[in-house]
Chains A and B, each alone.
Chain A
Amino acid sequence: MEKTKIEIRDLDLFFGKKQALKNISLHIPEGKITALIGPSGCGKSTLLRCLNRMHDLNPQVKMSGIIQLDELNLLHGNTNPVHLRRRVGMVFQKANPFPKSIAENVAYGLKINNLCHKTQMATRVEKSLRDSFLWEEVKDELAESALTLSGGQQQRLCIARAIAVEPEIILLDEPCSALDPISTGKIEELMLKLRGRFTQVIVTHNMQQAQRVADYTAFMYLGELVEFGETKQIFENPQQDLTRNYVEGHFG
Chain B
Amino acid sequence: MKRKIIQMLGLALMITATLLVVAILGVVLFDLSSKGAPSISWAFLTQSPKHGMTEGGILPAIFGTTAVTLLSTLLAMPLGIGCAVYLHEYAPDNTFSRLIRASIRNLAGVPSIVYGLFGVAIFVQFFGMGASVLAAGCTLGLLTLPSIITTTEEALRNVPRLTREGALALGATKWETIRTVVLPSAVPGILTGVILALSRGAGETAPILFTGVAFYTRYLPGSVMDEFMALPYHLYILSTQHHAIEQVRPLAYATALTLIGLVFMLNLTAFWVRAKYQHGKD
Contact = CB atoms under 8 A, between A and B. Distances in A.
Binding partners A and B: yes
Interface of A: 52, 54, 57, 82-83, 85-86, 89-90, 92-94, 96-100, 108-109, 112-113, 145, 147-148, 158, 161-162, 165
Looking at chain B's contact residues, is the secondary structure mostly helix, strand, loop, or mixed?
Answer: helix
A161 B162 contact: no
Given A57-B168, A85-B168, A90-B169, A96 B160 contact: yes
A150 to B, nearest CB: 13
A83 B180 CA distance: 18
Range of interface residues on B (Cβ < 8 Å) = 20 to 34
B169 A99 contact: no
Given A99-B184, A108-B180, A112-B180, A147 B282 contact: yes
B173 to A, nearest CB: 5
Contacts of B160: 96
Nearest to B93: A59
B149 to A, nearest CB: 23
A83 B173 CA distance: 9
A68 B40 CA distance: 76
B171 interface: yes
10 contacts: A52-B169, A54-B165, A57-B165, A82-B172, A85-B168, A85-B169, A89-B169, A90-B165, A112-B172, A112-B176
B147 interface: no
Given A82-B171, A89-B169, A109-B170, 11 more contacts: A85-B169, A86-B171, A92-B162, A93-B162, A96-B165, A97-B166, A98-B163, A98-B180, A98-B184, A109-B172, A112-B171
B155 to A, nearest CB: 13
Given A99-B281, A145-B280, A109 B171 contact: yes
A82 B167 contact: no
A158 B160 CA distance: 16
A99 B166 CA distance: 12
10 shortest interchain CB distances as A-B pairs: A86-B171, A109-B170, A90-B169, A96-B162, A96-B166, A85-B171, A145-B280, A112-B172, A113-B171, A147-B280
A243 B240 CA distance: 85
B277 to A, nearest CB: 9
Given A92-B162, A96-B163, A96-B165, A148 B170 contact: no
Contact of B170 (A54, A57, A99, A112): A112
A195 B165 CA distance: 24
B172 to A, nearest CB: 5
Contacts of A145: 280
Interface string B127-164: 00000000000000000000000000000000010110
B95 to A, nearest CB: 16
A13 B172 CA distance: 25
